Amino acid sequence: MREVVYKNLTSIASRKKDIFLREVFQKNGVIAKTERRCFYFIKDILQMESEEAFKKWVDAQGSKTGKRHFHIFKEHNDLMGENKLICKIAGTFYAVADRTVYTIAFLHSFKVSFVKATSLT
């Protein structure tokens, strides 16, 4: 058994992009489920009038670029015969096109679980 789901959702009006991939497969009596998600959201759009204004903005930002937050959650359940691992990274970054600066927030997540197929019946 193998199942793959892929979604690529883009909304220009709400300035969001969501990419999702799920895979489920069974091998040797174990069902493995993986999920990968990349979510992006444009928080702010700043139009620069000139190259000098852009340089001033860059100097004002200094080293205060967005911090990234990293979380790991691990769970083992003997009763259900299940192991889970969830990793998440969240933060912000900047993208520059012409004289426009985009502040983009992101969330990347990876989830994996392993379940004994016999415990599901």
Which pLDDT tens digit goes with each residue over 53-71? 888 888 887 766 667 899 9
d(CA 21, CA 38): 9
Residue 17 is predicted with a pLDDT of 92
pTM of this structure: 0.77
- Residues whose CB falls within 8 Å of the CB of residue 97, separated by 6 or more in sequence, listed in order: none
Residue 119 is predicted with a pLDDT of 53
The closest of 44, 45, 33, 4 to 21, measured between CA atoms, is 4
Can you give the residue ranges of every domain in the chain?
2-120
Residue 56 is predicted with a pLDDT of 86
Residue 113 is predicted with a pLDDT of 94
Angle at 104 between CA 99 and CA 105, to 5 degrees: 165
Which pLDDT tens digit goes with each residue over 35-50? 999 999 999 899 988 8
Residue ranges of the chain with per-residue pLDDT less than 70: 1, 63-66, 119-121
